[in-house]
Amino acid sequence: MIKSVSAALLLISAGAVGAEDARQLEAHEHGVGQLDIAFDGDRIAMELHAPGADIVGFEYAAQSSADRAKVDAAVAILARPLDLFSVPAAAGCSVVEASASLESEAEHGDEDHAAHKDEEEGHDHEDHAEEGHTDEEHAEHDKDHDDDAHAEETGHTEFHAEYLLTCADPAQVTLITFGYFEAFANALELEVQVLSEGGATAFEVKRDAPSLDLRSLF
Ligand SMILES: [Zn+2]
């Protein structure tokens, strides 16, 4: 079944014209996630990327048991796509498979260090003002760049989920209601790309209007 999700998601990638390739963890904007949805016969494949800040409110590596519990709870919620992205009952959709995980820069090995350094040189330090660094400290840090703790401190994390649904009547998926925003208080927006027989269509779904009208697709 993994293969069938991948096949459907390949369609999404083709529609995105390489957008996925350009996306990097450090390029994400806190508050904004991406949701790709591909209609393929009676199947709907979905892929979600969301900043750790949106889902659990932090992006450092979870150390305390409370933080680890937050991550585990979030992964469990992310594994229930029809609660987060609910569709009309008339469509008769059910979840064939769902997977969710936390991705972190810390998983990169030492061999990535050079590339990592380049990324950090272009990093917007404003994001980290709350960490209490002065500009002077940053200059010092950038000079002595062999400090592993620094990488952890400035690293971003993202939650990644993949779903495969099967629907008795996919044409009835005329509206998606985003419980996602109720589940995750720091999430403000999802950039949604829908791929159907008619091609790729981009939408923005925001916290204050958490639904997506898909009637134009059918
Ligand atoms: Zn981030």
Per-residue pLDDT tens over the stretch 8-57: 555 554 444 444 444 555 579 999 999 999 999 999 999 999 999 999 99
Phi, psi (rounded to 5 degrees) for 124: -85, 105
Question: What secondary structure does DSSP assign to 90-158, as a single string?
Answer: GG-EEEEEEEEEEEEGGGS-GGGHHHHHHHHHT--GGGGGGGT--HHHHHHHHHSTT-HHHHHHH--EE
CA of 147 to the centre of ligand 1 (A): 20
In a domain, 151, yes or no: no
Residue 138 pLDDT class (50, 70, 90 cuts): very low
Residue 116: inside a domain: no
Which residues lie below 8 Å from residue 128, measured CB to CB, with a gap of 6+?
153, 154
Which candidate, 162, 198, 213, places its Cα nearest to that of 7? 162
CA of 158 relative to ligand 1 center, distance in Å: 7
pLDDT at 105: 65
Residue 138 included in any domain: no
Mean pLDDT of 204-218: 94
Measured distance CA(203)–CA(192) in Å, rounded: 5
Over the range 113-140, which residues count as b (16 or more CB within 10 Å of their CB) and which as e? eeebeebbeeeeeeeeeeeeeeeeeeee
Edge-to-edge strand order for the sheet containing 85-86? 85-86, 175-178, 211-213
CA neighbor of 159 nearest in space, from 73, 50, 85: 50
Q: 131 lies in a domain?
A: no
Burial class of residue 198, CB neighbours in 10 A (0-12, 13-18, 19+): exposed
What is the percent of the chain with per-residue pLDDT over 90, rounded to a whole number? 61
Ligand 1 centre distance from Cα of residue 34 (Å): 14
Q: How many domains does the chain have?
A: 1
In a domain, 37, yes or no: yes
* Alpha carbon of 154 to ligand 1 centroid (Å): 9
Q: What is the tens place of the pLDDT at every residue in 54-80?
A: 999 999 999 999 999 999 999 999 999
194: in domain: yes
In a domain, 169, yes or no: yes
Q: Which domain holds residue 211?
A: 2-17+27-108+156-217
Domain assignment present for residue 146? The answer is: no
156 Cα to the center of ligand 1, angstroms? 4
Ligand 1 centre to CA of 193 (Å) is 21
Residue 123 Cα to ligand 1 midpoint, Å, equals: 11
